[in-house]
């Protein structure tokens, strides 16, 4: 079984996907234990010296001026109960696993002062596949603490969890897994919840999906170019060097690799912009994905706590490290880049399926006459694109001041991530349509000498969608191909 280590090497979006979707076991680097112990000692010493520490001996939010005394464990439990205000459908198990892994990776940096036994309990629950039932609505991106309370309560044996497909009380699932509820020490409850782990974990999964969908989009674009008889001079490396826009040379090089040598078919002087500008459009998307990856991996590898324990200096300081404006902006930008690429894919589909372009039969129908062929799917493609464009509208500025004005700024990162993920799923549907149309065009055109890579793409499509020889329900075919593209097992 695959193992992913935290606390030493750089954690990547692929690591998150391996744990969240692939069931990889989480291992903890040897240095983490000492790091956590040292930070905890500093936190306890500074608190004993009388320093006011947010969430340890003070209230939270608007209550930060209120001193807290007495049973530290009971206050941390009260803190969790008071912030368990999330509602809505539960997050999917893979998102919960991504959240748990993200929080464990962040905590392994040592900046929270979390008790080592509580950290160990988090990792053990994740490896035991105990997934708290985590409602999806409640975070405005000023930390995800209202959502994160479900995770913290699970570790103390409260609330419900999903355990191997069964929903049951957390305390029962822990017992079945041979684990025990933990007792929270000073600040432990706050350390578990005061982070943007939902945003970082879900964001990493969305970025992993964007990477795989982009590869599929490149495949669809290459097959369209082959079917269309496109002018491949647009991929000349010298043209990319003349305008070194981010990602453009990389996109063109990938397409050259897929298309192989020019097939010698007659080409137009200039193709429609959705074809001629593929390197520019896809290059911008490569850049946007890269920026989103960078932003997400900063969060996954950061000590993003408030307050933060600076163990080497023996200090505890308040911070805004839990705030994620860069990740929200990166996801908004990625959504716009996806929308732009999706619009080009839709335009290519309409070019392929319209009235007899570049020697292709009308509507890609082999029988002609009153046959509808592929043309009714233009409406479906347009509907999907409209949904993508709707979701491309930014949300990161949609917030109100809360907590008596103490929390007067937010990032809406969870919402930005969620709509980006939804856009990727819709975009993949458009890719399925473009692949279907391009494959049909290749078969109808005749004489198209596909390179090895594009021949493989063509065969992969035909493994799920037969050639259209007479009108039939193509929506069923599109769903089958979309399922294959989304499965994580697409091989082309």
Residue that the structure tokens 């035991």 belong to: 128
pLDDT confidence of 51, banded at 50, 70, 90? confident
> Would you give the DSSP letter of residue 137?
E
How is 81-107 classified by DSSP, letter by letter? HHT---EEEEPPHHHHHHHHHHHHHHH
69: which residues sit within 8 A by CB, 6+ positions away?
Answer: 57
Are both 452 and 369 inside the same structural domain? Answer: yes
The CATH number of whichever domain residue 167 belongs to comes to 1.10.275.10
Are both 216 and 185 inside the same structural domain? Answer: no
Are both 229 and 83 inside the same structural domain? Answer: no
Cα–Cα distance, 82 to 35 (Å, whole number): 30
The predicted model scores a pTM of 0.95
Are both 236 and 148 inside the same structural domain? Answer: no
Contact 138, 334 (CB under 8 A): no
∠ CA(464), CA(465), CA(470), 5° rounding? 160
What is the length of the chain?
492
Are both 43 and 9 inside the same structural domain? Answer: yes
In the chain, how many domains are there? Answer: 2
Are both 294 and 148 inside the same structural domain? Answer: no
Residue 285, pLDDT score? 98
Give tens-digit pLDDT for 305-363.
889 999 999 998 988 888 999 999 999 999 999 999 999 999 999 999 998 677 889 99
pLDDT confidence of 263, banded at 50, 70, 90? low
The alpha carbon of residue 329 and the mean position of all alpha carbons in its chain are separated, in whole angstroms, by 14
Residue 265, pLDDT score? 62
In a domain, 491, yes or no: no
> Would the pLDDT of 72 be above 90?
no
Are both 340 and 239 inside the same structural domain? Answer: yes
Residue 333, pLDDT score? 97
Q: Looking at beta carbons, which pairs linking 443-446 to residues 24 or more positions away fall under 8 Å?
A: 443/467, 444/360, 444/361, 444/364, 444/366, 445/227, 445/229, 445/359, 445/360
The more confidently predicted of residues 265 and 404 is 404
Cα–Cα distance, 84 to 78 (Å, whole number): 10
Q: Which two tokens stand for residue 366?
A: 């082999």
Residue 213 zone, left/alpha/beta (φ > 0; ψ -120 to 50; rest): alpha
Contact 134, 85 (CB under 8 A): no
Are both 329 and 371 inside the same structural domain? Answer: yes
Give tens-digit pLDDT for 19-38.
999 999 999 999 999 999 99
Q: Give the closest residue to 338 by CA, choosing from 472, 249, 453, 430.
A: 430
Residue 66, pLDDT score? 75
Are both 247 and 155 inside the same structural domain? Answer: no
Residue 370, pLDDT score? 87
Residue that the structure tokens 């994580």 belong to: 488
- The CA radius of gyration of the chain, in Å to the nearest whole number, is 26
Contact 285, 340 (CB under 8 A): yes
Domain's final residue, options 145, 170, 195: 195
Are both 223 and 106 inside the same structural domain? Answer: no
Cα–Cα distance, 136 to 364 (Å, whole number): 44
Are both 139 and 215 inside the same structural domain? Answer: no
Q: In 10 A of CB 237, how many CB atoms? A: 11
Domain of residue 241 covers: 204-486
> Would the pLDDT of 43 be above 80?
yes
**Could you give the count of Cα atoms lying within 13 Å of 140 in the half-sphere of its Cβ?**
13
State residue 26 phi and psi, 5-degree precision.
-95, 120
Cα–Cα distance, 387 to 261 (Å, whole number): 37
Give tens-digit pLDDT for 463-476.
999 999 999 999 99
Arithmetic mean of pLDDT, 113-128:
97
Residue 422, pLDDT score? 98
Residue 266, pLDDT score? 61
pLDDT confidence of 63, banded at 50, 70, 90? confident
Cα–Cα distance, 201 to 317 (Å, whole number): 25
234: which residues sit within 8 A by CB, 6+ positions away?
Answer: 252, 271, 275, 276, 278, 279
Q: What is the mean pLDDT of the chain?
A: 93
- Which range among 49-58, 88-97, 295-304 shows the weakest confidence by mean pLDDT? 49-58
- Which range among 44-58, 433-447, 457-471 shows the weakest confidence by mean pLDDT? 44-58
Domain's final residue, options 156, 171, 195: 195
Domain's final residue, options 137, 170, 195: 195
Cα–Cα distance, 285 to 282 (Å, whole number): 5
The CATH number of whichever domain residue 327 belongs to comes to 1.20.200.10
Give tens-digit pLDDT for 208-253.
999 999 999 999 999 999 999 999 999 999 999 999 999 999 999 9
Give tens-digit pLDDT for 355-402.
867 788 999 999 988 899 999 999 999 999 999 999 999 998 888 888
């Amino acid at each position: 079984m695959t193992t992913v280590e935290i606390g030493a090497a750089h954690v990547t979006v692929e690591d998150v996907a391996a744990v969240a979707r692939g069931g990889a076991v989480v291992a903890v680097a040897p240095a983490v234990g000492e790091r956590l112990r040292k930070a905890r000692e500093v936190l306890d010493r500074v608190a004993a010296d009388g320093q006011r520490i947010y969430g340890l001996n003070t209230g939270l939010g608007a209550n930060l001026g209120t001193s807290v005394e007495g049973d530290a464990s009971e206050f941390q439990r009260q803190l969790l109960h008071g912030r368990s205000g999330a509602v809505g459908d539960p997050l999917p198990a893979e998102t919960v696993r991504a959240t748990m892994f993200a929080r464990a990776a962040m905590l392994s940096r040592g900046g929270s002062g979390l008790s080592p036994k509580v950290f160990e309990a988090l990792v053990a629950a994740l490896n035991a596949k105990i997934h708290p039932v985590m409602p999806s609505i409640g975070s405005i991106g000023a930390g995800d603490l209202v959502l994160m309370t479900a995770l913290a309560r699970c570790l103390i044996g409260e609330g419900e969890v999903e355990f191997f497909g069964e929903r049951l009380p957390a305390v029962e699932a822990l017992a079945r897994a041979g684990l025990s509820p933990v007792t929270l020490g000073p600040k432990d409850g706050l350390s578990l919840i005061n982070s943007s782990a939902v945003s970082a974990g879900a964001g990493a999964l969305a970025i992993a999906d964007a990477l795989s969908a982009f590869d599929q989009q490149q495949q669809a674009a290459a097959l369209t170019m082959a079917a269309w008889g496109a002018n491949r001079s647009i991929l000349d490396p010298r043209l990319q060097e003349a305008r070194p826009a981010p990602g453009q040379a990389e996109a063109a090089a990938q397409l050259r690799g897929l298309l192989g040598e020019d097939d010698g078919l007659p080409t137009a002087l200039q193709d429609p912009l959705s074809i001629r500008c593929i390197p520019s459009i896809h290059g911008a998307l490569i850049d946007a994905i890269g920026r989103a990856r960078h932003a997400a991996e900063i969060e996954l590898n950061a000590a993003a706590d408030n307050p933060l324990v600076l163990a080497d200096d023996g200090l505890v300081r308040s911070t805004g490290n839990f705030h994620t404006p860069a990740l929200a902006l990166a996801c908004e930008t990625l959504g716009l880049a996806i929308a732009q690429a999706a619009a080009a894919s839709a335009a290519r589909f309409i070019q392929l399926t319209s009235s007899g372009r570049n020697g292709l039969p009308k509507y890609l129908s082999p029988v002609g006459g009153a046959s509808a062929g592929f043309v009714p799917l233009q409406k479906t493609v347009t509907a999907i694109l409209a949904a993508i464009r709707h979701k491309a509208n930014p949300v990161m500025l949609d917030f109100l001041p809360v907590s008596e004005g103490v929390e007067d700024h937010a990032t809406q990162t969870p919402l930005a991530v969620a709509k980006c993920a939804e856009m990727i799923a819709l975009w993949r549907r458009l890719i399925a349509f473009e692949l279907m149309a391009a494959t049909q065009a290749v078969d109808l055109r005749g004489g198209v000498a596909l390179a090895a890579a594009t021949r493989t793409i063509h065969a992969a499509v035909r493994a799920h969608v037969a050639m259209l020889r007479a009108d039939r329900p193509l929506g069923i075919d599109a769903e089958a191909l979309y399922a294959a593209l989304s499965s994580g097992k697409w091989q082309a």
